[in-house]
Amino acid sequence: MSTREIRIILAGPRGKMGSAARQLIANTAHFQLVAYLDRKQESETGFSDGQVQVYTDVEQCLSEVEADVFIDLTTPDAAKINLEKALDHHVRPVIGTTGFSEAEIERLRQKSEDKSLGVMIVPNFAIGAVLMMKFSQMAARYFDDVEIIERHHDRKLDAPSGTALKTANMISEVRSEKAQGHPEETETLEGARGGNVDGMPIHSVRLPGLVAHQEVVFGGSGQTLTIRHDSIDRGSFMPGVKLAVETVINAKTLIYGLEQIME
């Protein structure tokens, strides 16, 4: 883990995650904020900072600013573009959005290895959420039947969440595909049983007042097991952001998920 000064560009500074990330950078002695990337001009209610340059064009930002790490807390579509641009400019991306397909991840992994640059794509920066996924994978060795319920704020763009999909994929690594429920089960309302990954239903809830919450419910003969994690505010994600930045600076490949670097 590096403790040398790490120069950071932050994309998405106006959001709640961006605001928390600004505090993290300011409060971490070996982090130096060198630029912001924001899609709006200041005159269009965009972000402004009297001390650090704010760019609206990623190419211009990366061309003019010398940086080590590019933290992206924007949207999946923007993050995919920004990730590629960062690698092209020899800057290591830490991506805090989801929506990458397996094919995209493998292609980007090859590109990162060709350039000997680390990349981190993190569906969930909360350390507790990563432990929840690990515990769920452990439990899946003993319980065949499982459903995932994820709850997020109503401004979230994708459903199901990247964390729910990652959890399901981790469970699938140790569990054979299984059709759960009654063999003649029917939905009288389409979608009532949620999405499906290898027979595991995933249910998404979107409501104001929520931040990020997930429970993984296992069922067996005469018992159930529920593994749940709740992020109460965005501060819960910042230790994971710090860990990702300090890891990517020395990595030479793409790392998908904090669980890959947590023992």
pTM for the model = 0.81
Rounded Cα gap, residues 120 and 61, in angstroms: 20
Buried b (16+ CB within 10 A) or exposed e, 2-19: eeeebebbbbbbbeebbe
The reply to whether 98 sits in an annotated binding site is yes
In the structure encoding, which two tokens stand for residue 201, read together? Answer: 């239903």
Tokens representing residue 20 in the block: 């928390």
Catalytic residue among 89, 111, 134, 156: 156
| Domains annotated on the chain, with CATH | 6-125+235-260 (3.40.50.720), 127-232 (3.30.360.10)
Verify whether residue 152 is a known catalytic residue.
yes
| Beta carbons of 240 and 130 less than 8 angstroms apart | yes
Pairing of the two strands 223-231 and 212-220: antiparallel
Nearest to 68 by CA among 3, 4, 8: 8
Q: Do β-strands 119-121 and 200-206 pair in parallel, antiparallel, or remain unpaired?
A: unpaired
**Is 111 marked as binding a ligand?**
no
d(CA 199, CA 218): 13
From the list 152, 166, 203, 213, the catalytic residue is 152
Query: What is residue 42's predicted lDDT score, i.e. its pLDDT?
Result: 59
Interaxial angle between packed helices 16-27 and 238-248, expressed in degrees from 0 to 180 and rounded to the nearest 10: 60
- 15 annotated binding-site participant: yes
- Look up 80 and say whether it is catalytic: no
The answer on whether 13 is annotated among ligand-binding residues is yes
Q: 172 pLDDT band (50/70/90 cuts)?
A: very high
Note the pLDDT of residue 98.
78
pLDDT digits (tens, 9 = 90+) for 110-145: 999 999 999 999 988 999 999 999 999 999 999 999
